[in-house]
Structure 1
């Protein structure tokens, strides 16, 4: 195994397996054949454009001009698909539907349904660490056994989705409190260190995702406490041990590997002399459709 293996695992998809979902000429999603076939059932909303036998795109036709009305159309479609078992559940958080940034949202969709449409999703991950006389140690969480995705896999001290209507700092404060029992004052000391992108074909559809990343040096006596039930226990590990787990195992939730690799680069724990160094850096910011 290698760091590149972890990057490639987050970027496995074949563009030929997906067709664009367009709204007003913008690509707001990418649909599998099966998802496209389901949308054919709503011809008043979606038109499948074909040339010969090849599908070129699915276009949202005559969309409402109002933001809330467009969101209501998607909610209607999603509600039917959940009732029929095509989609397994609703998450209850709304994500922006956008071809670009969060502030360019055209409407909203339930978080759990974004991969079905291949819509862009946003999240925040925080590297919590302590400086000790022997080096850096990182706080790592183990996800609860009842988590729908990646049960009992290792995770960041704080990581979560970024719903519509909350600013970056507001959501980070919320996640820090819920997942680690952190005060707003401590959460506000987190340092924004960039953003990572990846695009992966998953069981639920395409995930063209954006992760906003943060570093937070916590006090020596800090002890995280999870309040939302998502984490069953926390560990404080030497960063070298974390590095080896990322490189040599599948212990971590898949996208956490990318954020930790970025941390390792910035803290000099993946050297510029590494033969994969440039490819690793490029791979952390994959182009999104």
Structure 2
């Protein structure tokens, strides 16, 4: 987390996006060093946190992007120096590079079949992953391209009528696929499967399996900031090294996936308490500021994610406390 040692000065009029792709160098993996040399992102007092992309102005021209697209502590300290002066403050190449990374694999879309439930497209499965589902023909039915409107597709067996029955039966298949190491890191957290957000739920699926069925998944990230001396300072988290995704990288203050049976606002309050020790009396002031969607294809995984972004102004003297094993520092 951050204190008040260094800060980056940017002029930005957009809700701060998650920083999953910014990698912390190995030299700062020790927690005590993170505590000693914290970082804040400072926003000029004239800036407002809005969702207008047209108003975005980020100084990124001189930030070095290595072949792995990492952003190290050396970069952090360099751009925080008073003498740092980008060639062109309106240059958005770095910003769009991150968008490009989040939308990789579009050329592989033709390798995926629609996943059909009740005659609606609920997701997409890779053609080779679908071949592993054929042996569970009492649950999944494969149909070749017979001229129908879906073409080749995988369909949930229509004999499975209720959401509870589907959740139980599909869950058993997911466990088998995990034992075959086709789906990693079963998380025992259920995501709702629906054709669109807010639509009736077909069934619930383990979070780890969601991208292998290409379902729409949702999350609620929160950016926490304080105002001091006319400036806004953004708290930055560092992900735990034991996380299965993006270990050791910089992150938002709090947030997580949107599981079945909980509303966005209530989930933000829960995540704030679990990950940063923010009490409900403060977290219930969080404001929804927009949504970001992306499509990321990698191997058999087809992530079609939507994140509902929140901003939270924190008391100036508030210090987040690590909770659990999501955030290290």
Q: Same fold (TM over 0.5)?
A: yes
Distance across 2 between alignment mates of 1:48 and 1:148: 31
Question: What's the counterpart of residue 31 of structure 1?
Answer: 125
Q: For residues 115-153 of structure 1, give each alpha carbon's deviation from its aligned partner in whole angstroms, at most 9, with x where no partner exists.
A: 111111111001111122252210010001111110110
Q: CA shift at 1:51, angstroms? A: 2.7
Corresponding pairs, count = 233
Aligned partner of 2:282 in structure 1 is: 186
1:46 match: 140
Residue 153 of structure 1 is matched in structure 2 by 249
Give the corresponding residue for 2:96. Answer: 4
TM-score with structure 1 setting the length: 0.76
| 2:264 is equivalent to residue 172 of structure 1 | no
Q: Which runs of 5+ in 1 are unaligned?
A: 234-289
Instruction: Decide whether the 8 Å contact of 2:129 with 2:300 is kept in 1.
Output: no
What CA distance in whole angstroms lies between the structure 2 residues aligned with 1:21 and 1:201?
16
Contact 2:221 2:255 in 1 (8 A): yes
Separation of aligned partners in 1, 2:298 and 2:318: 36
Distance 2:233 2:299 in 1: 34
Matching of residue 77 in structure 1 with residue 173 in structure 2: yes
Q: Does 1:225 align with 2:317?
A: no
Q: Which structure has greater helix proportion?
A: 1
Aligned-pair CA distance for 1:190: 0.3
C-alpha distance in 1, partners of 2:142/2:292? 32
Deviations 1:208-260 (A, max 9, x none): 01101101111110100111121111xxxxxxxxxxxxxxxxxxxxxxxxxxx
In the alignment, structure 2 segments of 5+ residues that lack a partner are: 1-92
Instruction: Please say which of residues 185-194 and 10-19 is displaced more in the overlay.
Output: 10-19
State the 4+ residue runs in structure 1 displaced beyond 3 angstroms: none
Alignment of 1:77-96 (within 5 A): 77-96=173-192
Matched with 2:309 is: 213
CA contact (8 A) 2:222 2:253 kept: yes
How many Å separate the matches in 2 of 1:29 and 1:212? 20
2: distance between equivalents of 1:45 and 1:101?
24
Quote the Cα distance in structure 2 between the aligned partners of 1:68 and 1:62: 14
Q: What is the CA distance between 1:72 and its match in structure 2?
A: 1.2
Q: Distance in 2 between matches of 1:48 and 1:141?
A: 44
Which of 98, 107, 112 pairs up with 1:18?
A: 112
* Alpha-carbon distance in 1 for matches of 2:111, 2:314: 44
Query: How far apart are residue 61 of structure 1 and its match?
Result: 2.6
Mapped partners of 1:174, 1:202: distance in 2: 30
> Deviations along 1:73-99, whole A, 9 cap, x unmatched?
211210111122222231011000111
- Pick the structure with more strand per residue: 1
Normalising by structure 2, we get a TM-score of: 0.67
Structure exhibiting the larger radius of gyration computed from Cα positions: 2
2:236 to 140, 145, 160: 140
